[in-house]
Structures are given as C-alpha cells and as structure tokens.
Structure 1
Amino acid sequence: MSDYTQTLDSEDKRTATRVAALDIGSNSFHLVVARIVANDVQILHRLKMKVQLARGLDADNWLSDEAIARGVDYLRMINESLGDFEPDSVRAVATFTLRQARNARQFLTAARDVFPYPIEIIRGMEEARLIYQGVAHTQHAEGRRMVVDIGGGSTELILGDGFDPIALTSLQMGCVTFTNRFFRNGEIKQKQFDKAITATVQIMEIAPEQFHELDWEQTLGSSGSIRAVTEQAMAMSGGAGDRHVTRKQIKELVSLCVSAGHVDELPFEDISEERRRVFPAGLAILKGIFDAIDIKELMYSPAALREGVIYDMEDRLSHHDIRERTAQSLATRYDVDLDQAQRVLNTTWTLFDAVSVDWKLDQQEYRSLLGWAALLHEVGLQINSRGVQRHSGYILQNVEMPGFNQEQQQLVASLVRFHRKKFKKSEVREFSLFAPPEIERLIALLRLGVLINIRRQDDTTPFFRIKHKKNELRLTFEAGWLSSQPVFEASLLRECIQATGLGVNLEIR
C-alpha cells in the first residue's frame, strides 16, 4: 500500500466534529462554521448580517419591539442555514446590547421560538478574552501585542503575550452608540469629532494601568469598524501592502470626513450604506484610542469574537476547559480548604450520578457547574464564617470568572448561596438557559453533599445507599448508625423539610 493511500485511510478514520459559533453583536450578527479534525480548527463558512441591534436600545436601556423583531428575523434565517447541527455543536454568544437591555429576557424568549440553540449573554471581560483567543490563534506575533475591537456598543482592549491575556477591559463606547450620541443626523463636523475623541480619551482613563505602563510590539484591530478604516487607509496609499493604518492616516481620514460634511457625501468606494453611517464614530473612537495609549500603527485582523468562540469550543472538546482553571484559581485566591471541598465534591457527584437521568440532569454541563459550586462553596469564609453562604454567593456573583457566561456564573453563585440554611425561592433569579426545577434539584444535591460532610473528616463520612425515582430520593445508612448520631440525624430530618421546598421528596433511613 502506498504512503498516499495510507494517508487517505488515516484521514478517513479521523473524527471530524462540525461546530458553529454565532456572535450576536450590537451592530452585526456573525456566524462561523468550522470543523475540528485532530485538534485542528478548519473554518468552512462565514456569514455576516448587519442588524444594528443597538439602534433599538433607548436611554433607559429598553430594547424596542422593532429591534427585537428584527433580531429574531435574522436568527430565523441563521437557524435555517445551520440545518441539522446538534445543540451541543452550536454556541451563540450575545454582547453589549443584550448585556445592557433591561428586557433582554423578552428577546431571548422570542428567539427561542425560531432559534433552538441556547443564547449566552457574556460579560465584557469574557468577550475581551474570547476576542483575544480568536486573534491569538490566527495571527502569529512575537512578544506582547495589543488587540483592539470596536463593536457596535462596546470596545474591548486586550494586552497579551502568546495565547495568554495580560490585561483586559471592556469599555462602553461603540460605533452605533457613538453615532447616536455624536453623529445622529449624519452630519460630520470637526466639533462633533472633537467631542467624540475627547469622550473616548476620558473613557480610556479607566482602562487597566498596564495599557498605559507596559510596552508591546504589535497592535491589531479586529472589528468591522477597523476593517473599514484600514481599507480606506490602503486606498489612500495606493492599495499596497497589508491592511494597516497609521496615526497620520487616521488624522487624514478625519479631515476627509469633515470635508465631506455628511455621511452620504463620504468619498469612499466599496463601503456599504450601513457601514458608511457608523464610519465617523468608529474612526473617532479609534483616534481616541491611538491618542490615549500612544499607538503609532495598527494592523487589521479578520479573526475576532466568533473565531475565539470556535477555539474555546475546541478546547472544551479536548477537555481543556478554561472554566476549570478559573475555579481552581479562585479556590487558591480565597484559600479554600481543598480537602473539605474534595469531600463535598465526591459526595455531591455520587448523588448526581445516581439521579441525573431520572431528574433530567443528564448533561455534562450540569455536572461540571455543580462540581465548581462544590469546590467554591466556602470562598465566603474570607469575609466571615457567619452567613458564609451569603458571602460566598456574593463573591461568585461579582468576581470575574473567565470562561463562564453570565448565566453559568449566576447559576454557580445561586447554588452556593443556598448550600445551607433556609432556601428562599424568591431570591433565585430567573434564567433563560436553566429551568427552575433543574436549579432547585442541583441546590438540593449540593446541600446534601455539604451536610453529609459536616464533620470535615474523611473517616467520619458515613456510608449510605441511594434509591431514587422521579422526584424521590432515599438515603439509607447502615443499621443503627443514625440512632448513634442524634445531632446529625436531626440535621438530616430538618433537611427533609427544606428539600420539599426544592421539589425533592427526601427520605432518610
């Protein structure tokens, strides 16, 4: 058999996984379809739809019905293009506009009717991390690099080295929101540019100090606004070389825009009407960033958030989930008693594995999130042992957790918040990715894992058998053991009452 035939045979035996990532941005929706073969990501298809969701967000952060309907219509088209993708093979992330919208749940509810895949609303810092992953995996660079992404509603800046970000920030300024604020009627005047640039410089003052103090070798930009600016800079220079823009060229583009006087009169070829409308705002933000952190030149990178999501999915498929590293880092930072955390984790997972199918929790995601809650349920001891469940829940609700979307982080925080004491259903927030019965059952399992290990010693953890059916759970201890432990038995009997409020009929024998 020839080497060529052997190679083909080997290729046939490889497992190829098709995945798709959807970036539900404030200005555009971006879909990327790829396949993962032998830990290599191959981009197969890209689709971009100009939706301008942020235009429907008013001063009170209320997303208009028209904007919701427009976004849902595009999601319907995207779903049709996805065809037969499995739910676990599609990851959709929403950014600034849905982060800000007070009625984001209305959008998610309407989207669920036409788009069967879960939509994750991610925090700004998580968006920045994913953007950097997209650029870092597709653009080779030696030494430190700065990545800038100007979206419709927010701008992300990331300083990194190799695949590791050093500093990240997400700032509330974008080409759509700045258009509404400074260039609403399409008029372009020097005074408007000056105000927009000054606003950018002021906002940049809250960026991490590393952006102002550290040096880097290369600056990359990864958004539609930056692509448009670099394309026009190339046109001015005769169209030679890579897409890049210098400080001088940005200044010339500002003068060109002011001379035009209106977006309809901009002398740019090959630019869409939608991009034309937001071009001055994107340019003003970019100039403000150049001025604030003294950038001399910026190169354009076609990869961004959606590619970062794809590579993040590849890491999870390869069992390199960054969320595991995040949880371990938090456990170290808050000096968690790892021996006790491991006891609680082992017991909680034993219970979970026994009931997961009957309780409709048979997804790896539930097991992982429950495990991280078990690991981190005592981070609040750093504040006070009294009310530790409240302190732990507060920390996990507000700390930065790279890799976790908003709802995943909130779920872990909710599990931890009610790992002991009285369960209060009214204090559990609403979720779009997780149903109330699932959340309550996960809380019930974590509570039992903590209670059974209350003595914090390996040799005192009791042996028990598990029997379950639907919402019923029976724990049977060795004959005579419970009666010899009256305090523990009383605690378990009290937990039976709490479990009822969690939808679980708990029986102790």
Structure 2
Amino acid sequence: MRVAAIDCGTNSVRLLIAEVVDGTLTDVSRRMEIVRLGEGVDRTGRLAPEAIERTRKALLGYAMEIAELGVSRVRMCATSASRDAANAADFTAMVRATLGVDPEVISGDEEARLSFAGAVTGLTVEQPYLVVDIGGGSTEFVVGDTEVRHAVSVDIGCVRMTERHLHGDPPTPAEVAAAEQDITTAVDTALRTVSGHRTATLIGLAGSVTTVAALALHLPGYDPERIHHARIPYDDVAKVTFDLLGSTVADRRDLPVMHPGRADVIGAGALILRVIMERAGRSSVVASEHDILDGIALSLA
C-alpha cells in the first residue's frame, strides 16, 4: 500500500509518500515548501490571503505527485496556524478544492503524539525520551518510552517568536532577552507538565533543530543521513545560536545548509532549542529527521 502524509505547519508544508509493508515505511518521496501560512497570525488572528495562496500552489504540486504515484490513502494534518486562525474555514475550503480531502486541524495533544510516533521509530538511545518538536507557531513536549506518557503543546515557535520579538536585522540584545524570557516561561511550564526533567534522552525534531545540527556538524551542505540521530552537545548548540542571532538574514542565507525560507526565523528556533536544553539540564540533544510527517504516515498504515 502506498500512502501520502501532508503536514501543514506555520512555516512549511511537507509531503511524504511512502510504501507500507508490515507496518513499516519506505520513503518514495519527501518534499518541503516554505509557505509561511502563519504569517501575521500571532498579531491578526487570521490567515493572510497571500499565505493561503502560497499554500495552495504548494498543495497543487503535491496533488499532482500523489496522483502520478498511485497513492491509495491521503491524510493532511494542519497544526498551529490553522488552530489559531479565525478564518480557518477559508483554508479548509481551499484544501478540499485543491487536494480532494479535508485538512484535519489537529489539537496540540494529537500533534505531539504523532510527532512522538514518528520520532521514536528506529531509535536505540536510552529511554524514557523527552521529544521536543519546535515548529513555526508552537512547540510540542512529549515524554514516553514505547508509548506516550505525557504531552503538551505551548505557543512558542520560530515564526511566532520572530514576529513577536526579533525585529532587528540582526536582532538587538534587548529583543533577544525579551524572546528568551518569553520562551523560558513557556518551557518551564511545559517541563513541569510532562515531568520532562526525569527523562534520559532529549530528542529534537523539525527544521530548526536539524538546521542547528547541520551547522554544529559543519556540513558542506544539508545532509539528512548525517543529521539523523546525530548527538549534538549543548556547547555547540549555544555557539550556533549565538552566531545566528548575531548575523543578518542575508548572512544566514549564505550558509550552505540553510533553506532560504528559514533564514529569517532560524535564530528564534535555535534560541528555543538552547533554552529547552538549559531548563531541562541537558548536555546534548539527539536530532531526528523523522517527525510528525512520519507519524501521520504511520497512522495510515
């Protein structure tokens, strides 16, 4: 059976087409487009028409590939931006017309559980895990071993924190301090809620984490195989975060591992990861290329 999973977040929309054999996945195609669906949502409470149109164009390409590759099941999950928007019905109508299925605007709890399912597949590190999925609008904290034990979603993400605090290019020390305070409050609440301090291994998901990992590893280009399950020390995360927050967007775009659509928000994403490591008392983070997208595909299997 061939399935298609689509994850539509605040910053990107991603597609995974996979073969399912005995409950395991084999990738056929992975694609990502930066559409910034959540642009301005933190301020206006609405999805911008131009953001919906960018997403429509990306989904149109995905729909063509799904048809060409003979997919039998499709599931699209929409996360933080779509939960927050007053005009989510406009987005739903667009997806139905473009893709032929309704998007599931999932709760933060469901988002966390799907992320955990995708992340722990193939892991051989010590349990229990603290899985953190740093998105554009929210970050999910999940504690579990073979299954989820506790989960919570908090409204800190790389797009939301950039729009709320990091206005300079590069951001000023005062802007960074304000963002860090906001992040710290949310992280402390999340860690208390899920008992995150009692876990053995911190696992980081999504583009902010994998980009920080790629920079810490000094890769000449973005290499998912090198990044997947790489263990990154705290000192390296702190150094990368300091460098990103001290550079301009143009300088970040010139980094060989940087997706150009991530360059303006990666500083906030790195800061979120660094604060999580500090507040959870972690000396390292294991980066994972498998995340909610794989969890959605597994749910179809």
> Structure 2 length normalisation: TM-score?
0.90
Number of the residue aligned with 1:193: 176
CA apart distance, 1:179: 1.2
The residue identity in structure 1 corresponding to 2:53 is: A
CA apart distance, 1:65: 1.1
1:28 aligns with 2:12: yes
Q: Cα gap change, 1:208/1:185 in structure 2, threshold over 3 Å: closer, same or farther?
A: closer
2:230 to 243, 247, 251: 243
1:153 aligns with 2:137: yes
Deviations, residues 63-87 of structure 1 (Å, cap 9, x unaligned): 1111111111211111111116788
Q: Cα gap change, 1:258/1:171 in structure 2, threshold over 3 Å: closer, same or farther?
A: closer
Contact persistence 1:156–1:168 (CA under 8 A): yes
2:87 to 80, 90, 103: 103
1:48 aligns with 2:35: no
Whole-Å separation in 2 of the counterparts to 1:79 and 1:56: 27
1:263 aligns with 2:249: yes
Contact persistence 1:157–1:169 (CA under 8 A): yes
More strand per residue: 2
The residue identity in structure 2 corresponding to 1:290 is: M
The residue identity in structure 1 corresponding to 2:107 is: R
2:287 to 300, 308, 317: 300
Structure 1: runs of 5 or more not aligned: 1-16, 315-509
CA apart distance, 1:257: 3.0
Number of the residue aligned with 1:341: none
CA apart distance, 1:118: 2.2
Deviations, residues 306-331 of structure 1 (Å, cap 9, x unaligned): 100111121xxxxxxxxxxxxxxxxx
1:181 aligns with 2:164: yes
Q: Could you say which structure has the larger radius of gyration?
A: 1
Contact persistence 1:231–1:243 (CA under 8 A): no
CA apart distance, 1:50: 1.0
1:168 to 121, 131, 151: 151
Whole-Å separation in 1 of the counterparts to 2:196 and 2:140: 18
Whole-Å separation in 1 of the counterparts to 2:166 and 2:88: 26
CA RMSD of superposed structures (Å):
2.3
Contact persistence 2:201–2:285 (CA under 8 A): yes
Aligned length: 294
Number of the residue aligned with 1:131: 115
1:274 to 242, 246, 261: 261
Structure 1 segment 219-238 matched on structure 2, within 5 A = 219-235=202-218
Contact persistence 2:3–2:20 (CA under 8 A): yes
Partner-residue secondary structure (3-state), 2:110: helix
Whole-Å separation in 2 of the counterparts to 1:119 and 1:33: 17
Partner-residue secondary structure (3-state), 1:168: strand
> Structure 1 length normalisation: TM-score?
0.54
Partner-residue secondary structure (3-state), 2:286: strand
Whole-Å separation in 1 of the counterparts to 2:68 and 2:101: 12
Whole-Å separation in 2 of the counterparts to 1:69 and 1:75: 10
CA apart distance, 1:186: 3.0
Whole-Å separation in 2 of the counterparts to 1:180 and 1:280: 12
Number of the residue aligned with 2:275: 288
More helix per residue: 1
CA apart distance, 1:130: 0.3
Partner-residue secondary structure (3-state), 2:76: strand
Contact persistence 2:4–2:71 (CA under 8 A): no
Identity within the alignment, %: 26
Structure 1 segment 489-500 matched on structure 2, within 5 A = none
Number of the residue aligned with 2:54: 70
Deviations, residues 327-352 of structure 1 (Å, cap 9, x unaligned): xxxxxxxxxxxxxxxxxxxxxxxxxx
Structure 1 segment 316-327 matched on structure 2, within 5 A = none
Partner-residue secondary structure (3-state), 1:66: helix
CA apart distance, 1:185: 4.3
CA apart distance, 1:95: 0.3
Partner-residue secondary structure (3-state), 1:277: coil
Contact persistence 1:233–1:244 (CA under 8 A): no
Structure 1 segment 448-467 matched on structure 2, within 5 A = none
CA apart distance, 1:41: 2.3
CA apart distance, 1:258: 4.5
Contact persistence 1:138–1:303 (CA under 8 A): no
Contact persistence 2:166–2:179 (CA under 8 A): no
CA apart distance, 1:192: 2.1
1:209 aligns with 2:192: yes
CA apart distance, 1:244: 3.2
Whole-Å separation in 2 of the counterparts to 1:69 and 1:83: 21
Contact persistence 1:152–1:175 (CA under 8 A): yes
Partner-residue secondary structure (3-state), 2:116: helix
CA apart distance, 1:18: 0.9
Structure 2: runs of 5 or more not aligned: none
Higher relative contact order (CA 8 A, sep 6+): 2
Contact persistence 1:34–1:42 (CA under 8 A): yes
Whole-Å separation in 2 of the counterparts to 1:184 and 1:103: 26
The residue identity in structure 2 corresponding to 1:308 is: G
1:122 aligns with 2:109: no
